[in-house]
Amino acid sequence: MTTAAKNYIAGEWVDGEGISRDVNPSNTDDIVGEYARASAAQTQAAVAAAKAAFPAWSRSSLQERSDILGKISAEILARKEELGRLLSREEGKTLPEGIGEVTRAGQIFGFFAGEALRIAGEKVASVRPGVDVEMTREPLGVIGIITPWNFPIAIPSWKIAPALCYGNCVVFKPADLVPGTAHALAEIIVRAGLPKGVFNLVMGRGSVVGETLLNHKDVTAITFTGSVATGRKVAGAVTARMGKFQLEMGGKNPLVVLDDADLKIAVECATNGAFFSTGQRCTASSRLIVTEGIHDRFVGALTERMKGLVVDDALKPGTHLGPVVDQAQLDQDLSYLKIGRDEGATLVAGGELLNRATPGFYLSPALFTDVDSKMRVSREEIFGPVATV
């Protein structure tokens, strides 16, 4: 019998009110693991633990913080292949991308281990004799950290590391689709020696854990990365209680190709920007704006380049694109392919469901032409391997 991985609250590993199954999108017969889902009451307990730990942690020595962050960095980097494999297995990005993301996460903690030793203020001249003016930045308190599934270790790292570096306490809610990587990161953070309550992991649904964090008066600030729709909800809830928040949401990023562009470089930039990571990143450049003099050559060369992209199991050597993360995201991608055709765009390549050796959410990269700026496929974030010209 499998034991579900636990949440970490007030210095203890605890069960939840339910269990989520972490499924490999490259092989839906493969269960990565089972993870405890925290309840609203447990989330409240995590906030209370963080609040209780804040006075001491906010006054902790800079060297202590630096040492702890350095330990986290060292273990992440020492285990980058193992953690990268776990990340790719549960999220679906290729193994080189997974290892690269883990490496970046380790570097982020290493960077803030250094920053902890040089936290500075500012001193300025005063217009009043005998009066000094000094400005220092103070830790906020309890930080609710809500992260997405598409970068399951890098984004948590670039939120958790600075929060701890500057003396804040953390309640971390990872995306429900990627609890495995989040749990592994939490174990590393715990082993580094943080005092009880400074760091808490609460896995679970946004409607339970996320809502509790947004509306809790003792959560001083929320940092959120995810969809625009959810970001609006975050802003509304936190603003209503006069809390602080930071949002990083989606985008529809353009890549402009002019007549005098190097065709080979332009095609590689477009391929990487639109299709790698299966297009599942807010920085994807899926809106290709191409001038008339190079348009036909660019489309022809890009279409030819797309034929060479291998879509397969994320852990398989030679794979360029792994699967879409889950059925819901695949359905969204397919719906936008229909929207594009209905709007009058021409699907010149891809957009087909693919069968592989294992059952998974495989979709060939798609390219639309004859697109104008009023079409939804040109304006709305699809979050899949779909590009428009």
Q: Is 282 among the residues known to form the active site?
A: yes
**One of 91, 97, 115, 282 is an active-site residue; which one?**
282
Q: Is the dihedral of CA 323, 327, 333, 334 positive or negative?
A: positive
Helix H segments across 142-286? 154-165, 179-191, 211-215, 228-240, 263-275
CA angle 191, 22, 311 (to 5 degrees): 110
E-state strands within 98-220: 122-124, 133-135, 142-146, 169-173, 199-201
**One of 64, 248, 268, 343 is an active-site residue; which one?**
248
How far is 145 from 156, CA to CA, in rounded Å? Answer: 8
CA angle 309, 92, 298 (to 5 degrees): 30
How far is 106 from 187, CA to CA, in rounded Å? Answer: 14
Residue 175 gets which letter from DSSP? -
Q: Name 173's Cβ contacts closer than 8 Å, sequence gap at least 6.
A: 43, 144, 145, 146, 147, 202, 203, 204, 206, 209, 210, 213
Q: Is 248 among the residues known to form the active site?
A: yes
- 225 phi and psi, to 5 degrees? -125, 130
Q: Hey, which residues are catalytic here? A: 248, 282
